[in-house]
Structure 1
């Protein structure tokens, strides 16, 4: 029985080995090129994916650096706009102050002219009143009525004295 087991085992071993070799030959003939092509395609796809990922990373870094540059330019432009606005505001403020001072000067000059006119009018009115009072006083002092010519001379005399006193 032992020889039978040994011969069966040996037969099984030969059949299994033959089947395995046949399987390897069949795989080599029909499937090996397809399997290697699949593995090569997979390898190429992985390599391409890695290259694309590296390229995308570089593009992202370039894009980030450009955005940073654009951001710094935008900040610079914003600062320039703010400075320009400040300068414009300051210039406009100084212009408004100068215009206000000029207007105040004109108003002051007009007020001075109005004062001078009022002063002249008041002086003329006072001269007339003083002349009338002086005439009445002179009439009372002399106790007589002056004729028209004496009256004119007296008024002119008083007016001249008042004009000199001014």
Structure 2
């Protein structure tokens, strides 16, 4: 249950048939307070958390190869390589696999950029559910490629939508601005 003040705040707007952007903020604040408190502490002290950490450790230390994935069509291109849709063979889960060509990286003197990308992806890939950030699940290399296995985000990124639409109307702009603002807390530790 929520506090009387939070309920009154929401009811005040709903009785006026108004739905402002901040309508549910009191509820969200109360949920976060509860999650940061006793619930999270109990989770950290539980066997489930220990098991989660064990799986994460295994996941991070596993030696993968291209044979662990079924690679599908190209879904994007960049300066150093391509991004493919792929499926992990043992789980069937779909991912995006970003393959950077080592020769192209060296030719364009992009070693620092590639290394920084790997570091940043590992920093934001905490295992937490961050719906507005593409997280890296696995990374490995072959003799000629660096491979980052990332969350597959169907529908494209902001750059794709800008290139398709040119200019957003006000409603589209509000939608994407809200996604950026909501995604901001996920960057707090970077």
Q: What TM bracket, shorter-length normalisation? A: under 0.3
Q: TM-score, normalised by structure 1?
A: 0.17
Higher strand share: 2
Q: TM-score, normalised by structure 2?
A: 0.15
Larger Rg: 1
